[in-house]
Structure 1
Amino acid sequence: MNKVPMTVRGAELLREELKKLKSTDRPQVIQAISEARAHGDLKENAEYHAAKEQQGFIEGRIKEIEGKLSNIQIIDVKTIDAKGRIVFGSTVELLDEESGETKVYTIVGEDEADIKVGMISFTSPIARALIGKNEGDEVSFSAPGGEKHYEVIAVRYE
Structure 2
Amino acid sequence: MSRAFVKEGDGDLDPLPDLPLSPHPNYVTPRGLTALQSRLRDLQTTLATLKSRSERLDKLPEAAAERDIRYIEARLRTALLIDPTTLPLTEVAFGLAVTVADHNGQQTTYEITGEDEADAPLHRIAPQSPLARALIGAQVGDEVIWRKPSGAVTLEVLRISHADP
The alignment's TM-score, normalised by the length of structure 1, stands at 0.83
Equivalent residue, structure 1, for 2:4: none
d(CA) in 1 for partners of 2:116 and 2:69?
15
Give the helix-richer structure, 1 or 2: 1
Task: Give the superposition deviation at 1:139.
Answer: 1.1
The one-letter code of the counterpart of 2:75 is K
* 1:128 and 2:129 are equivalent in the alignment: no
The one-letter code of the counterpart of 2:143 is E
Equivalent residue, structure 1, for 2:43: 21
Moved over 2 A (4+): none
Task: Give the superposition deviation at 1:3.
Answer: 4.3
Asked if the contact 2:89/2:160 (under 8 Å) is kept, the reply is no
Gaps of 5+ in 1: 38-47
Task: Give the superposition deviation at 1:68.
Answer: 0.7
Asked if the contact 1:110/1:121 (under 8 Å) is kept, the reply is yes
Asked if the contact 2:98/2:159 (under 8 Å) is kept, the reply is yes
Q: SS at 1:87's partner residue?
A: coil
1:1-150 equivalence runs, <5 A = 3-22=25-44, 24-32=45-53, 35-36=54-55, 48-49=57-58, 52-80=59-87, 82-97=88-103, 99-150=104-155
Q: CA RMSD in A?
A: 1.6
User: Percent identity over the alignment?
Assistant: 33
Asked if the contact 1:2/1:71 (under 8 Å) is kept, the reply is no
d(CA) in 2 for partners of 1:2 and 1:91?
21
Q: Specify whether residues 135 and 68 from structure 1 end up closer, same or farther in structure 2 by C-alpha distance, changes over 3 A only.
A: same
Count of residue correspondences? 141
The alignment's TM-score, normalised by the length of structure 2, stands at 0.80
Q: SS at 2:49's partner residue?
A: helix
